[in-house]
Amino acid sequence: MTAHPLAFLALVMANVLLAFGPVFVRISDVGPVAAGFWRIALAAPILLAVALGGGWRPAGLGRGVWIALVIGGLCFAADLASWHLGIKKTQLANATLFGNSATLFFPVYGFLLARAWPSRSQGFALLLALLGAGLLMGRSLQVRADQFYGDLLCLTAGILYTIYFVAMAKARDTMAPVPALAMSTLASLLPLLIFAWTLGEKILPTDWWPLIGLALASQVFGQGLMTFVLGQLSPMVIGIALLTQPVIAATVGWLWYNEKLDGWDLLGAAAVAVALVLVRRERKDAAPLAPDGTVGA
């Protein structure tokens, strides 16, 4: 399968948009899990309308596809709940880096279960990207007792995000991006509402704008572009690209919260950029996520 010519650009744009999610969560006036619910609730009608308007109908989907969509939706709901809780219990840099630990888990899945072994330059790019992210977050990434719980929640979110990627890649074998995202979004709606209600969070907002921004930037466009990319590019390329989110988060912290970048920060950002260039130059077809299109157990 040959990747769409705009797949790499879509991957970069997806990560740019998704990187602003924590900011919207922090400035919203509802609970963190409730913010995740509204991200889904406001985005679901738009995604479903676009899918149906494009002529898609839910008939004819196999049992395996439905299972993948449900698993994807449930894991995404649990991912958002864990991550949004963690965002308010730890530093923004920690939340972004741990929440995107799929950077490591998703390529490892590709290497071990899908036999998508990296080339020499890809392996070097992954190491370079990890080094860059480590340099960038070195000053603020501190595992302390008072924020350990938040770090653990965000790390859990990263694991759940990886499972979501695997499930959605399976659905994308037979579904277009928007219908796949619309159905998994609907599957995550009720669990998030139940999570928020169980935690006793404030659910109804006073100010809707942060939640609208969260829904559009993170779910409709950010996650929409990411779903389009799955199956177009290899797990290696997608995993490395996820490291752009900590870079963008650090930039937002610099501009928004006056968290200045020093020389090590700039060096880390440059290392991530070089890693993206290296994987882009590979010019190979997307590697399947599992042999014969199946997902490993």
At residue 156, the 3 state secondary structure works out as helix
DSSP 230: B
pTM summary value: 0.73
Q: What was the pLDDT predicted at 290?
A: 32
Dihedral sign, CA of 135, 136, 138, 143? negative
Q: What was the pLDDT predicted at 212?
A: 96
**Are the beta carbons of 103 and 243 closer than 8 angstroms?**
yes
Cβ-based neighbours of 261, under 8 Å, separated by 6 or more? 250, 251, 254, 269
Q: What was the pLDDT predicted at 96?
A: 74
Q: What was the pLDDT predicted at 226?
A: 84
Q: What was the pLDDT predicted at 293?
A: 30
Reading the chain (297 residues) residue by residue, the pLDDT tens digits are 566 778 889 998 998 898 888 889 889 999 999 999 999 999 999 989 998 998 888 777 788 888 988 998 999 999 999 999 988 877 776 677 677 666 667 666 666 665 666 677 777 877 887 787 677 555 555 555 666 778 788 889 988 988 888 888 888 778 888 888 889 889 999 999 999 999 999 999 999 999 999 999 988 898 888 878 877 787 677 777 777 777 787 777 777 766 566 677 667 767 776 776 666 555 443 333 332 332 222
Query: How far apart, in Å, are the Cα atoms of 17 and each of 100, 169, 226, 282?
Result: 14, 20, 10, 25
Quickly list DSSP for 117-147: PPPHHHHHHHHHHHHHHHHHHTTT----TTT
Query: How far apart, in Å, are the Cα atoms of 206 and each of 20, 29, 89?
Result: 21, 7, 23
User: What is the Cα–Cα distance from 151 to 269, expressed in whole angstroms?
Assistant: 22
Start-end of H helices in the chain: 7-18, 21-27, 32-53, 63-87, 92-99, 102-112, 120-137, 148-171, 177-198, 209-214, 224-229, 235-241, 244-256, 263-280
* 77-106 residue pLDDT tens: 999 999 999 888 777 766 776 776 666 676
Q: What was the pLDDT predicted at 289?
A: 37
Question: Which one, of 161, 182, 176, lies nearest residue 242 by Cα?
Answer: 161
Cβ-based neighbours of 279, under 8 Å, separated by 6 or more? 121, 122, 125, 236, 237, 240
- Residue showing tokens 């590709």: 110
Query: How far apart, in Å, are the Cα atoms of 244 and each of 121, 200, 283?
Result: 19, 34, 20
- Residue showing tokens 């290899």: 234
User: What is the Cα–Cα distance from 39 to 83, expressed in whole angstroms?
Assistant: 13
User: What is the Cα–Cα distance from 192 to 196, expressed in whole angstroms?
Assistant: 6
- Burial (CB count <10 Å: 0-12, 13-18, 19+), residue 110: buried
